[in-house]
Amino acid sequence: MFRKVATTSACALALSTAAIAQEGPRLEPLRVTASWEAGQIESFEKNAGGPVLGKEKQLMSHSGVWFLQEARLSERARAFVGVGGMYFFILPSAQNQYSFGQRSAFGLTDAHGEYDVIRNDKGEVPLGVKVGVFPYKYNEDAKNLGEYMFRTYTYPNIITGGGLVVLNSAGAQLNGAAVTTRMGGLKNDVLLTIKTDQVPSAALSLTDIVSYQIGNFLTVGAGYMFDNFYSTDGLNDGTASSPGTFPQEYYLTLSDGRHVLYGSGLNPGDVVVDTNHFEFIGQKAMLRAAVDLGNLIPGSLFAPGSFKVYYEGVLMGVEDRPVFYENRSDRMAHMFGINVPTFGVLDVLSAELEYCSNPYAPDMSNATLYLSPTPKDNQGSAFTGDDVKWTFYARKTLLPGFSVTAQVARDHLRLVDYYGHTNDLEVMPNRKNWYWAMQFAYSL
């Protein structure tokens, strides 16, 4: 992974260096952010993905620091390099209950170059490009849920959340290139990205995300992704193993039009006319909208954005596929949110609600262990305990640069075990599961 990052970063820096103007490069002030998170999982799935959790509750604690250096190579060109480290506690492995303790992680968080292809006299950038490893967030309203374009699998239909940082992490780190165009209230991003945090690793995806601002009260947006359109070694087309190695990768087409999994579901007299395999390749579609109600009220006392309702929806897999993916509505996720005004008491107070009727467990082990784009089989029964997710979120700036965030949620939380593996199964897949957490952050 670090080799990929280094190669992409070198291209990014070369792109920016080529655009150096007469004024010469200069370094901007170093940006530093430090945070500490503490909380408790009040109810959880004790066998989620292998780790052994506490009998009733489980404490969480994460500390981190991040450094970001920006270099102004010219009026139009910039380069960014960021590093960060985390200190956290891991849970014992189910195979070795003595394998617990603290861990540290350190790595590259940002390495990209930016160039303003077109820049007008007002300082606006109608056309810009960036290449490398960079953070990306297209839905400014999403606090915890949402941001589905880069936080979902197409097949299988899996939704992911934050990583080691639980709060204020509703976004993605991308590896690739982006072209951004702006014209008035219209913004469009075209992104070619290399997958490094999902199976199949190193697959290419092409995404277009557009948004339009109408006045100061309405934002609408949409996105479409050609996910995993290119990969190697059969990883994206579901042929990484033969039918006998992992039968669930393949399905049979019968003479009467029915489809059944390879090696199961056949009755006497059934005639098999074709054998096919599932694929990671697919398309995702996204819609979103936000209405700032405070700006609709003449002479309003509401600060911009403090009284707002917003929505984001995604279709994971535009194409129906046999056996597992025959109901389009089960592949949709809908997130509704609202910012509640506090008249200056808090910076932000919001609630988010998500609904997804996916009948399979939120378990990605078939993808990670067997390289199969299929869901974890529920043995014929629908899994409904995770249909609804929710979040209550609050943030307050106490001093310049110092903020406190609190969150109570039942979301897509996954934990890291002794071996550095993120759990395949969410630790809160049932209705009664929830946690609370606080984050203290300082930036300069």
- The predicted-structure confidence for 268-281, as pLDDT tens digits, reads as follows 888 888 888 888 99
Residue 257 lies in a domain: no
Answer yes or no: is 264 within a domain: no
Question: Looking at residue 47, what is its pLDDT?
Answer: 59
Q: What's the confidence (pLDDT) of residue 235?
A: 58
Q: Does residue 386 contact residue 260 with C-beta atoms inside 8 Å?
A: no
Residue 366 near residue 248, CB atoms below 8 Å? yes
Distance CA 147, CA 358 (A): 18
Compute how many other C-beta atoms are within 10 angstroms of the C-beta atom of residue 55. Answer: 6
73-87, 289-303, 351-365: segment of lowest average pLDDT: 289-303
Q: Is residue 393 one of the residues assigned to a domain?
A: yes
User: Is there a contact between 223 and 206 (Cβ–Cβ < 8 Å)?
Assistant: no
- What span, in angstroms and rounded, lies between the C-alpha atoms of 120 and 401? 32
**Beta carbons of 117 and 18 less than 8 angstroms apart:** no
**pLDDT the model gives residue 380:** 58
> Shortest CA distance to 377 belongs to which of 227, 199, 244, 247?
247
Q: Which residues contact 85 (CB under 8 A, 6 or more apart)?
A: 64, 65, 66, 104, 105, 106, 107
Which one has a higher pLDDT value, 45 or 58?
Answer: 58
pLDDT digits (tens, 9 = 90+) for 173-231: 999 999 999 999 999 999 999 988 888 888 999 999 999 999 989 999 999 999 999 88
CATH number of the domain enclosing 47: 2.40.160.10
Q: Specify the 3-state DSSP secondary structure of 79.
A: strand
- Contact between residue 170 and residue 162 where contact means Cβ atoms under 8 Å apart: yes
Considering the domain boundaries, does residue 270 fall inside one?
no
* Owner of token pair 């292809």: 117
Whether 265 maps to a domain, the answer reads: no
Tell me the residue range of the domain where 230 lies.
2-238+278-443
pLDDT of residue 248: 67
Listing from the earlier edge strand, what are the strands of the sheet with 259-261? 259-261, 250-254, 272-277
Q: Examine residue 376 and state whether it is found in any structural domain, yes or no.
A: yes
Of residues 238 and 184, more confidence is placed in 184
For residue 437, the model assigns a pLDDT of: 96
Angstrom distance (rounded) from CA 160 to CA 150: 9
Whether the CB-CB separation of 26 and 72 falls below 8 Å is answered with yes
User: Rounded distance, CA 38 to CA 80, Å?
Assistant: 30
Give the whole-angstrom CA distance, residue 349 versus residue 73: 39
Identify which of 146, 305, 144, 138 has the alpha carbon closest to the alpha carbon of residue 218: 305
Query: CA-CA distance, 115 to 179, in Å (whole number)?
Result: 10
Residue keyed to tokens 């160039």? 115
Per-residue DSSP letter, 303: P
* Overall domain count for the chain: 1
How far apart CA 154 and CA 66 sit, in angstroms, is 31
Instruction: Give residue-wise pLDDT tens across range 320-342.
Output: 999 899 999 999 999 999 999 99
Can you tell me the distance from the alpha carbon of 218 to that of 322, in angstroms, rounded to the nearest whole number? 39
Domain presence at residue 254? no
Mean pLDDT for the chain overall: 85
At 110, is the secondary structure helix, strand, or coil? Answer: strand
∠ Cα 237 242 246 (to 5°): 90
Query: If we measure between CA atoms, which residue out of 323, 315, 313 comes closest to residue 275?
Result: 323
pTM of the model: 0.87
Instruction: Indicate whether 3 pLDDT > 50.
Output: no
